[in-house]
């Protein structure tokens, strides 16, 4: 659908409104994305406005992406990294009436997906996200500032959950009683994480932090992964964030929005593809402690997402957009079923991890 946006935004980037066509694009939860096509040249760009309720300091995103772009440009000039195109005044973002905008080139012949229909897609995505992790392994991640403080800090997410629990009405708590019980039951995931989180063999690394499949561009013809996009949460974190969110979002044929939880089962061959693709790049870099945490990464991320949805439900749905009143509760049920699937299939999954580590000859 064609849309119009503030002319000043266009002029900040040297475009004339009459010379471009703008259309809404993509399916993300957080930002607004537009495809901009220049009439005369046919050249295409992605124009996005940043959600400042989520990213309270968008300048930090721009700074982080620039630091990483400069590092990659210096050390790996061949690597395709989708950095921002500066405004005519040379700024990383255009700020118009308090709204932050950024422009990037549209990667030609690319396509993104919301769901995976072939384990090769999981392999390609894990390879690409793993490659970014690998190329940044020598980058000093402490230079990056947090674009969302405590984004993947399970301790903070757990506290936000218990705070929401205290404030929620009896009626809401009643509706979510079963899921609240499950969330409390799985607290041992947080306790386990706390037992090693300060280990020197569990370092902070520059992580993407949102490795869902829609953040990967594929070549329309070869179906090979081209590059990763959506760099808003590129900041210091643990490797479990990137590997774990791939498990969370690739293993099941249905997304977190599927309300029929009998459909939430895992696809073992996708698990193997993720682990193989990721180890292909990161196998030589992960520490022995990190290698022990490969399967745990999925449990951590799924549990965290479940309590994020549950917290939002208890808070009256203020963060995740919903299409119906109980959607965040349904998403919570969906994620707990997925988590249960990892535990139910633990033995098979552990065997696969060990097999992959052996094949990659990185077994510690
Ligand atoms: P959100 O934060 O809303 O998820 P994304 O940056 O992931 O925003 O962009 C949304 C969608 O727009 C992507 O899933 C992809 O389909 C498309 N997209 C974003 N950037 C590009 C790009 N540089 N080239 C081609 N497509 C892109
Ligand atoms: C949000 O922007 P999007 O839709 O890729 C969220 C992720 C969640 C995801 C759940 C900044 O991601 O952390 O995993 O929804 N991003 C932010 O669908 O909160
Ligand atoms: Mg996205």
Domain CATH number, residue 26? 3.30.200.20
d(CA 160, CA 317): 14
Query: How far apart are the CA of 233 and the centre of ligand 1, in A?
Result: 14
Q: Give yes or no: residues 240 and 340 share one domain.
A: yes
pLDDT of residue 97: 93
Q: pTM for the complete prediction?
A: 0.95
* Ligand in closest contact with the CA of 231: 1
For 233, the domain range is: 119-359
CB-based contacts of 148, cutoff 8 Å, min separation 6 = 54, 55, 233
Q: Give yes or no: residues 99 and 131 share one domain.
A: no
pLDDT of residue 27: 72
Q: Give yes or no: residues 177 and 276 share one domain.
A: yes
Atom of ligand 2 nearest to the CA of 248: 14
Q: Give yes or no: residues 94 and 151 share one domain.
A: no
Render pLDDT for 129-177 as a digit per residue (tens, 0 to 9).
999 999 999 999 999 999 999 999 999 999 999 999 999 999 999 999 9
What value does the mean pLDDT take over residues 115-123?
96
Return the sign of the alpha-carbon dihedral for residues 217, 46, 144, 309: negative
What value does the mean pLDDT take over residues 113-118?
93
**If DSSP codes are grouped into helix, strand and coil, which group holds residue 34?**
strand
In 112-215 the beta strands, taken as DSSP E runs, fall at 205-207
Kindly state whether residue 112 falls inside one of the protein's structural domains: no
Query: How far apart are the CA of 163 and the centre of ligand 2, in A?
Result: 21
Render pLDDT for 295-335 as a digit per residue (tens, 0 to 9).
999 999 999 999 999 999 999 999 999 999 999 999 999 99
* Ligand in closest contact with the CA of 217: 1
Is the pLDDT at 364 greater than 70? The verdict is: no
Render pLDDT for 218-239 as a digit per residue (tens, 0 to 9).
999 999 999 999 999 999 999 9
Nearest CA residue ID for atom 15, ligand 2: 29
What value does the mean pLDDT take over residues 192-198?
97
Kindly state whether residue 140 falls inside one of the protein's structural domains: yes
pLDDT of residue 11: 96
Return the sign of the alpha-carbon dihedral for residues 322, 215, 301, 55: negative
Is the pLDDT at 59 greater than 50? The verdict is: yes
Q: Give yes or no: residues 129 and 69 share one domain.
A: no
Side-by-side strand order, sheet with 99-105: 20-24, 32-38, 44-49, 99-105, 94-96
Is the pLDDT at 1 greater than 80? The verdict is: no
Residue to probe by mutation, ligand 1, list 82, 229, 233, 255, most atoms within 8 Å of CB? 229
Which residue, of 106, 133, 166, is where some domain finishes? 106
Give the number of domains in the chain: 2
d(CA 127, CA 279): 8
- Cβ contact 103:84 at 8 Å: yes
Nearest CA residue ID for atom 8, ligand 1: 28
């Amino acid at each position: 659908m064609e849309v119009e946006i503030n002319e000043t935004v266009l002029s900040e980037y040297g475009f004339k409104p009459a010379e471009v066509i703008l259309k809404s694009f993509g399916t993300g939860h957080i930002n607004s994305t537009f495809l901009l096509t220049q009439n005369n040249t046919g050249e295409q760009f992605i124009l996005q406005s940043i959600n400042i309720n989520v990213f309270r300091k968008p300048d930090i995103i721009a700074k982080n992406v620039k630091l990483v772009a400069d590092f990659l440009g210096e050390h790996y000039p061949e690597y395709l990294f989708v950095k921002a195109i500066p405004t005519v005044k040379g700024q990383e973002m255009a700020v118009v009436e308090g709204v932050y905008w950024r422009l990037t080139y549209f990667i030609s012949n690319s396509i993104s997906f919301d769901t995976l229909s072939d384990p090769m897609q999981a392999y390609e995505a894990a390879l690409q996200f793993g490659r970014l992790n690998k190329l940044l392994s020598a980058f000093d991640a402490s230079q990056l500032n947090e674009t969302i403080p405590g984004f993947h800090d399970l301790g903070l997410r757990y506290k936000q959950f218990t705070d929401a629990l205290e404030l929620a009405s009896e009626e809401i708590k009643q509706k979510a009683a079963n899921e609240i019980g499950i969330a409390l039951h799985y607290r041992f995931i947080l306790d386990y994480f706390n037992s090693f989180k300060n280990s020197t063999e569990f370092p902070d690394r520059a992580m993407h932090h949102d490795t869902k499949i829609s953040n990967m561009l594929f070549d329309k013809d070869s179906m090979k992964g081209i590059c990763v996009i959506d760099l808003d949460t590129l900041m210091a974190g643990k490797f479990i964030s990137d590997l774990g969110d791939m498990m969370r979002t690739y293993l099941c044929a249905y997304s977190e929005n599927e309300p029929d939880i009998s459909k939430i089962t895992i696809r073992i061959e996708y698990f193997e593809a993720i682990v193989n693709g990721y180890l292909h790049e990161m196998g030589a870099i992960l520490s022995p402690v990190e290698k022990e945490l490969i399967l745990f990464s999925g449990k951590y991320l799924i549990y965290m997402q479940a309590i994020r949805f549950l917290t939002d439900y208890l808070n009256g749905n203020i963060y995740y957009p919903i299409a119906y009143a109980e959607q965040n509760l349904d998403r919570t049920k969906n994620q707990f079923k997925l988590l249960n699937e990892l535990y139910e299939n633990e033995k098979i999954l552990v065997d696969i991890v060990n097999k992959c580590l052996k094949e990659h000859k990185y077994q510690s």
